[in-house]
Each structure stands twice: as C-alpha cells, then as structure tokens.
Amino acid sequence: MDYQKLADMLFPNIDKTPQFYDALYKERKLKDRAEVVRFAPSPTGFLHIGGVRTALVSYLIAKKTSGINYLRLEDTDLERTVSGAKELCINGLNYFGIYYDEGATVDGEKGSYGQYTQTERREIYQTLVKSLVSKGLAYPCFCSEKDDKERKKNQEDDKAPKWGYYGKYARCRNLSIEAIENNLKANKPFGIRLKVNVKEGERFRFRDLVKGDIEMDLNVNDPVILKQNGLPPYNLAHAVDDHYMGTTTVVRGEDWLSATSEHAQIFDALGFERIPYAHLSQIEKQDENTRRKLSKRKDPEADVHLLNKEGFPKEGVVDYLMILLNSDFEPWRKTNPRASVLEFDFNIHQMSKSGALFDLVKLADVSKNAISNLTAEEVYISAYQWAKEFDVELAMLLDNHKEDAIAMFSIDRGGNKPRKDIAKFSEIKQFYGYIFDEVFNKFTIADYELEEGKYSKELIRTVAEHYANIYQDGCSKDEWFTAIKEHIAEIGFAPDMGEYKKAPDEYKGSIADYTGIIRLLVTGKKNTPDLYYILKILGKQKMIARFTRFLNLMK
C-alpha cells in the first residue's frame, strides 16, 4: 500500500511535518538535575482532592530541583468539558499556594511551549498522526458504535481471552486503499488507530518512580489515537505534549498504571524518548468494612471547594496531603510548626506505594494543629477572607471588631502547647462567638451550658454581685487571681483547692466553681480559653451587663 498517498487522503489540509515542530519547540536550557513537571487536569467539573495532591507533588518536584512547573489543560473530551471548570481549577490551586511558572491562566496563558490547552493544538496532533499513517504505523478506522457492539458480542461468543480491537476483531486494520477511498467518498466518519504488532502473552517491564519495578502484559490492542472529531484521546495527546513541552517526569494517578504499556508503544511509534512515570496511589475512603476509591460522584469531601466552604484552612489541607504522601512529614511538622512545606526533605521515591485513606477526622486534627501554629493576625486574615465568601455575618463581625477578634485569637496561642480548639473557620462562631455582643445578646437561657442542679439561682446571683464589686480593669493576671483568692471566702467559697477537697461541705464551692460561674455568665460556656483574657477584652462594663442579662433571663 502507498502509505503516503493514504496519509494525504486522510489529512489533505495538513502540510507540516514533525520536523517543523521539532524545530519550533527548542530543547529547554535547565540547571543540572532540574525537573520539568506538569499538572494536566481535564476541565470536567470541580477540583478533586486527588488532583490537588498530584499538583502538590509536581510543584514540590519542580521547586526542590529549581525546575519548571507548568499547567496544561487536557480538554479534548468535549462532551465532558464544563464551563468555568478551568477557573475553578486554577483559583483552587492558587488558594493552596500552588502556582505555575508557565501554562494556562485564568485569562490566557504564559510561556514559550504553548499552546497549553489541548483543543488549540489540533494541528500538531494531526501532523504527528499523519506522519504515523505515512509510515504504515497507523490506519483509519470507520467502525461505528453499532460495529463496536457487534465486535464485543463476537468476543463474548468466542470467549476471547481479551477484550479489545486486535487480531481478527480489528476489522479496519487491513482495509485496502480502495475500500478506504470509497468510505471517504461516502463521508463515513473515521478515527485513527495505532497499528500494534505484538504477540499475545508478551510482557512489558518498566520502573515506576513510586512503585518500583512493574511487569504487565504488553498491550495487544490497536488503540484509537485520533477520534472521529479530529482530536486525540489522552494516550496520544499527552505523549505529544509532554515531548514537545520538555516534561522530564509525569506525575499521575495509579488508575493510569495499566495503560502504561500502550502509552510506551505510542512514544516508541512517534520516535520519542519515553518519559518516566510516577503513579500515585489512589485516595481511598473507608466505607463500612471496605475501602474504596474516593468518588467524585459519591463523596462530597472529594470536592476541594466544599472543603474550602467548610472552612478547612489551606495550611491544614496541604499538611494532611503531605502526611498521605510521606509518613515522615507528620513528625517533621511537629518539630517545624512554622516551616514551609518546601523545607521538608520530600523524596518521590519514599512515597507510599499503597492506597491513602482520606479521613475527615484526621483532617480535622491536622487542621487544628495548623491553625494553632498560625499567629492571631494570620488566623484573623484567613478567617476574614473565608467569611467574606461563605459567612457574611461572621465577616461583618470580624470587620467591626477586628481588635477584639485578634485579641481573642491570641489567647493561649504560641508556646509549646498552644490551644487547639477550632479545626475550621466555620467553627469560629461556635467557639468564640460570645466575644461579639451581636452573637451573645441573642443567647436564650437554653444556650447557656448550665449543668442542671449544680448551681442554685441564689448562688449565681451572689457570685455575680460579689465579683462585680471586686473586679478591676487593668490589673495583671497575677493581681486578678490574687484578688479572687483574697475575697471569695467572704461569700463562703474556698480559696484553696486542697482545703476544699478536705472539707467540701464547709464551703459553698471551690475557687474553680467561683470562676466557673463567672465564665458561664460572660461566655455561656463551661470551657473557654483563659478567663482573665476574655474579661480583659470585654471590660468591666460589658461584664456587668452580661451578669445582669443572665440574671434577668434566669427569672
């Protein structure tokens, strides 16, 4: 067969050759051992937590080697492409501190190796595919959906050892040029398949950067490398783009692992050097007694935007993903609470080979640690930015009471054992809302964490009236506590816990009971950060107003 004639028949409008693009995309000038990596999402919906993990690994590889990190949009699946998904993806990655040296941007692209959106690279792909046809390495396939169903039925009847388009089931593989010409004249739609020549049972071996040495059956199918709409599927598109964009390592999910044999065949057919793969283990979820892949459709926590909407801090999510990637990260973070993840000695070869369990309880614990490691000002800024998008009331409170909010966030912060109460910014009103009069003054008696029968109304009133007389604004913490110890005996409370434990019936309560009543009256809660600092933020006037409010509610 005259393969050049066939190529010209199939691609009459393609006048370039692969050599044109070889010259156009110059070899990158990189520092020694610098890596060129990419994140290549399909804009088909929300940003998946697994996508953030893949993007994070690529980002770390690039930054740790002083290399290049770029973003490519793989949008050739036109039916699944969703409007606005690109912006969601880019803004989501930026939120987690992942930025790109080149590639697609919200309003265009940057860099010298574009275009970085695959639908804009149609001519490049068709040029490479035309070249494969001209060498007898690829052929047109006119099979319809009906033909594919018939093939599958035949394979089922034959109890074929493998499913797919190969051997006697590859009906278009040996079409004559005359038959092809007649199909073209009849305007039959066609795709292009790679002509694979292997024997069934041949094995394929390669070294994965994460999983080590892998062996599998060598692909026997003739894969589609150009669809009927003139665009390639992932298998050809990523090979062409990774080659011309100078990618040195491909980081992707292990769901692509089984296709590696086929992808290697495409690289070989194109005459490209194979690029090492790093297949990340899938993110899993515990579903009763089984573990399964975290699903885009079933599991809301897979959507990074929903995690953001819940108020999980970006620092917590990134730290949690780092823990899933490398078990050494968690102890490192404990000794380096304020360090950038870039300071961690990340090594792709030390990543876990097994599936990573995504656990919201663990994420909450990690997020508590992350928030506790922020300064009060950082908590305020992050919380305010979050609230502006997701909680207008909280944003207004933080805006109107900035100094009080920062002072509140400052309590028990820093030191070797910082307070760890909130895991996400959506919990601020629950844990700290009492500091704002607009929230506290809506409390009903049911909102106070009263323990039934613990304190009588008379005892609460006695403590409130007594403390209103002895409290002084502006005193130090030592002076504050000393004043309480010196005066509570006046109303029958034990100033010393040891004395109270020896003879509790001789007192109305302990010093802990006394301060507990004050805490309840001014916050509505049994447990809060340091009471001294809460009173200092509120001041005596507000404190007394809160005493009065509770006593009125108690009536």
505 and 541 both lie in a single domain: yes
Give the whole-angstrom CA distance, residue 4 versus residue 11: 10
Give the whole-angstrom CA distance, residue 465 versus residue 488: 12
Give the whole-angstrom CA distance, residue 151 versus residue 360: 45
pLDDT at 528: 96
Structural domain contains residue 165 = yes
Instruction: Please provide the average confidence, as pLDDT, over all residues in the chain.
Output: 95
Q: Is 139 helix (H, G, I), strand (E, B) or coil?
A: strand
Q: Is 402 helix (H, G, I), strand (E, B) or coil?
A: helix
Domain boundary among 372, 396, 420: 372
Query: How many distinct structural domains can be found in the chain?
Result: 3
260 and 359 both lie in a single domain: no
187: alpha, beta or left, given left = phi > 0 and alpha = psi -120 to 50?
Answer: left
432 C-beta neighbours (distance < 10 Å), count: 23
Structural domain contains residue 110 = no
304 and 324 both lie in a single domain: yes
Q: Is 486 exposed, middle or buried (0-12, 13-18, 19+ CB in 10 A)?
A: exposed
CATH number, position 338: 1.10.1160.10
Structural domain contains residue 70 = no
Q: Residue type for 385, please?
A: Q
pLDDT at 45: 87
73 C-beta neighbours (distance < 10 Å), count: 24
Q: Is the pLDDT of residue 100 over 90?
A: yes
Of 85-89, 236-240, 241-245, the least confident: 85-89
* Position 204 confidence tier, pLDDT thresholds 50, 70, 90: very high
Give the whole-angstrom CA distance, residue 104 versus residue 445: 55
Instruction: Compute the Cα dihedral for 355, 358, 361, 367 and give only its sign.
Output: positive
351 and 468 both lie in a single domain: no
36 C-beta neighbours (distance < 10 Å), count: 24
433 and 323 both lie in a single domain: no
Which residues form the domain of 196?
4-12+123-279
Structural domain contains residue 524 = yes
Q: Which residues contact 92 (CB under 8 A, 6 or more apart)?
A: 47, 52, 304, 305, 308
CA 55 to chain centre: 9
392 and 447 both lie in a single domain: yes
**End-to-end Cα distance, the chain:** 100
Domain boundary among 372, 395, 420: 372
CA 246 to chain centre: 26
269 and 139 both lie in a single domain: yes
CATH number, position 249: 3.40.50.620
Digit-coded pLDDT (tens) for 131-161: 999 999 999 999 999 999 999 999 999 999 8
Average pLDDT over residues 477-481: 96
Q: Is the peptide bond before 115 cis (omega within 30 degrees of 0)?
A: yes
Q: Residue type for 539, please?
A: G
Structural domain contains residue 392 = yes
Give the whole-angstrom CA distance, residue 336 versus residue 110: 35
403 and 515 both lie in a single domain: yes
Domain boundary among 253, 279, 305: 279
Q: What is the pTM of this model?
A: 0.91
Structural domain contains residue 353 = yes
Structural domain contains residue 67 = no
Tokens standing for 212? 């080590």
400 and 529 both lie in a single domain: yes
pLDDT at 516: 97
Digit-coded pLDDT (tens) for 375-416: 999 999 999 999 999 999 999 999 999 999 999 999 999 888
Q: Residue type for 521, please?
A: L
360 and 446 both lie in a single domain: no
Give the whole-angstrom CA distance, residue 206 versus residue 209: 10
133 and 267 both lie in a single domain: yes
Give the whole-angstrom CA distance, residue 204 versus residue 219: 8
The residue among 469, 441, 468 whose CA lies nearest residue 553 is 441
Tokens standing for 402? 């900035």
Q: Is the pLDDT of residue 354 over 90?
A: no
255 and 188 both lie in a single domain: yes
Q: Is 170 helix (H, G, I), strand (E, B) or coil?
A: coil
Go through 153-170 and write b for each residue having 16 or more CB atoms within 10 A of its CB, e for each that does not: eebeeeebeeebbbeebb
Question: Do residues 313 and 381 touch, judged by C-beta distance below 8 A?
Answer: no
Structural domain contains residue 421 = yes
* Position 67 confidence tier, pLDDT thresholds 50, 70, 90: very high
